Amino acid sequence: MLASGKLYKSNAVKALALMLLSIALVSCETVGYYSQAARGQLAIVFGREDIRRLLQQEELPPQLLEKFEKVIEIRKFAETELGLPVGDHYSSYVDVEREHVVWNVFAASEFSVDPVNWCYPIAGCVSYRGYFSEQSALNYAAKLEQEGFDVYTGGVDAYSTLGWFEDSLLSTVLDRADHQLAGLIFHELAHQLVYVSGDTTFNESFATAVEREGVRRWLAQSAAVSDIDAALLEYGRQRQFVDLVTGYRDRFEMLYQQELAEQSMRVRKSQLQQSLRDDYGALKRQWQGYAGYDGWFASSLNNAQLGTIASYNDLLPLFEGVFEKSNQNFPEFYAQVSRLAELSLAEREALVLDSEESSQ
């Protein structure tokens, strides 16, 4: 196992502190939520195995051998080429023995695209509530639905503990292509570098910007031409998907600003959802039937679901612009983003509006 007794004790103390903090809060439901979070994180901490030690095992399956060696390369690249705080992150492996590590619940009002936020001691306020049990997530989602919210539940394969623990490589991401695995690691490490409590869109869009540029450089240095072409095709489709969904998100927002009776609003909302499905079908035909987003479109396409795409992409053009103004230099880029992070929410929103107006 990776951790020494001292490190295990340190991690256990951290988790215990989280549980005690939850007990200080008012509702029993909140205490239960933090308790399951602490138990889930501790299970990962105590399940860790050192990757370099695993590589010394003769019986290690070839697939794991290849992935572990690739992760070592990715960690080195992240530190030396992207200036990310690698430390001991992703130097250990955990088999979580399930399809996803956590399941996030997202919610929004029936006639609003603005997400519901939940506030936590470490992460601050974010637009989701995570569970280490799928059934627990579904139970909470059902409760929100009964209260009249639009709700979306999605499995998550990896997450950042924001430096609270050393993040591990999880079995849930092993089937990803090398560039996808690199992108995930770059994205999660970016959260260690800059994180604004209470601003999910800022945090996720920044991490996505680091991920995109990091993968571009990773591919240019390490990949065959065929792999680069495949990745570019994938990112091109992803950008088209994002543009489609965010464009419709804006159309839903305009609809909700109209003065309509609730039933009429529901009919118009349903029509927009069907129109979005139809336009996705047209996009698939352009992609020669590529079905990578079919699972996403199999859900209800409600306000909560639309918000999951916005969080990762709404400010991406802003960060891409900052990166260009930083002469594509990562240390300078991080310094600029850190200055943005120190601004108030109102000041950051004003900069976003200025950026959008200048790009039109």
Q: Domain coordinates of the chain in residue numbers?
A: 1-47, 48-359
Q: Tokens 């009964």 map to which residue?
A: 146
**Residue 47: both structure tokens together:** 């399940």
User: H-helix or E-strand containing 9?
Assistant: helix 5-23
- pLDDT at 24 (0 to 100): 45
CB 172 within 8 A of CB 99: yes
d(CA 191, CA 85): 10
Cβ atoms within 10 Å, residue 204: 23
- Say if CB 106 and CB 304 are below 8 A apart: yes
Whole-number Å distance between alpha carbons of 16 and 326: 42
Which tokens is 184 given?
A: 């995930």
Q: pLDDT digit of tens for each residue in the chain (360 aa)?
A: 344 444 444 555 555 455 444 444 444 557 788 889 889 999 999 999 999 999 999 899 999 999 999 999 999 999 999 999 999 999 999 999 999 999 999 999 999 999 999 988 767 888 999 999 999 999 999 999 999 999 999 999 999 988 888 999 999 999 999 999 999 999 999 999 999 988 888 999 999 999 999 999 999 987 777 788 888 899 999 999 999 999 999 999 999 999 999 999 999 999 999 999 999 999 999 999 999 999 999 999 999 999 999 878 888 989 999 999 999 999 999 999 999 999 988 888 777 666 555 555
pLDDT at site 280: 98
Q: According to the model, what pLDDT value does residue 228 have?
A: 86
What is the reported pLDDT for 32?
Answer: 80
Tokens 């679901």 -> residue: 305
pLDDT of res. 349: 76
| pLDDT on residue 333 | 97
